[in-house]
Amino acid sequence: MNRTIELVKTIYEIKQLENFDEAQIALAGRSNVGKSSLVNRLAGRKKLAKISSKPGKTRSLNYYKVNPDGYFLVDLPGYGYAKCSKTERAKWAKLIEAYMTSNPQLKAVAVLLDSRLTPQKIDMELTSYLKSLGIPVIPVLTKADKPKQRELAKLQSQWKDILQQKNNPLLFSSKTGKGEDNLWDVLGEYAKL
Ligand code: GTP
Ligand code: MG
Q: CA 130, 189, 40 angle in degrees (round to 5)?
A: 80
Reported as a single tens digit per residue, the pLDDT across 79-90 is 887 667 788 788
Reported as a single tens digit per residue, the pLDDT across 148-175 is 999 999 999 999 999 999 999 999 999 9
Going from the C-alpha of 161 to that of each of 64, 113, 130, 169, the distances in angstroms are 31, 15, 16, 10
Percent of the chain with pLDDT over 90: 80
Taking CA atoms only, the protein residue closest to ligand 1 atom 3 is: 56
Helix (H, G, I), strand (E, B) or coil at 38: helix
> Tell me, what CATH number does 104's domain have?
3.40.50.300
Report field, pTM of the whole predicted structure over 0.80: yes
Taking CA atoms only, the protein residue closest to ligand 1 atom 14 is: 32
- For ligand 1, whether the C-beta of 32 sits within 6 Å is yes
Q: How many CB atoms within 10 Å of residue 161?
A: 10
Q: What is the Cα–Cα distance from 82 to 159, expressed in whole angstroms?
A: 24
Q: CA 105, 63, 97 angle in degrees (round to 5)?
A: 60
Q: What is the Cα–Cα distance from 179 to 181, expressed in whole angstroms?
A: 6
Q: How far is the CA of 100 from the centre of ligand 2 (A)?
A: 18
> Which residue from 12, 40, 51 has its CB within 8 A of the most atoms of ligand 1, so it is best to mutate?
51
Q: How far is the CA of 166 from the centre of ligand 1 (A)?
A: 28
Nearest C-alpha neighbor of 48 from the set 30, 33, 63, 27? 63
Measured from the Cα of 172, ligand 1's closest atom is 27
Instruction: State the total domains in the chain.
Output: 1
* DSSP codes joined into one string, 162-186: HHT-SSPPEE--TTT-TTHHHHHHH
Query: Is the pLDDT higher at 183 or at 88?
Result: 183
Taking CA atoms only, the protein residue closest to ligand 1 atom 15 is: 53
Note down the domain range covering 141. 4-192
User: What's the full length of the chain, in residues?
Assistant: 193
ipTM of the complex: 0.98
Taking CA atoms only, the protein residue closest to ligand 1 atom 29 is: 143
Reported as a single tens digit per residue, the pLDDT across 105-156 is 999 999 999 999 999 999 999 999 999 999 999 999 999 999 999 999 999 9
Measured from the Cα of 78, ligand 1's closest atom is 4
- For ligand 1, whether the C-beta of 65 sits within 6 Å is no
Q: Quick one: pLDDT band at residue 92, thresholds 50, 70, 90? A: confident
- For ligand 1, whether the C-beta of 40 sits within 6 Å is no
- For ligand 1, whether the C-beta of 115 sits within 6 Å is no
When computed from its CA atoms, the radius of gyration of the chain, rounded to whole angstroms, is 15
Reported as a single tens digit per residue, the pLDDT across 8-21 is 999 999 999 999 99
pLDDT for residue 82: 65
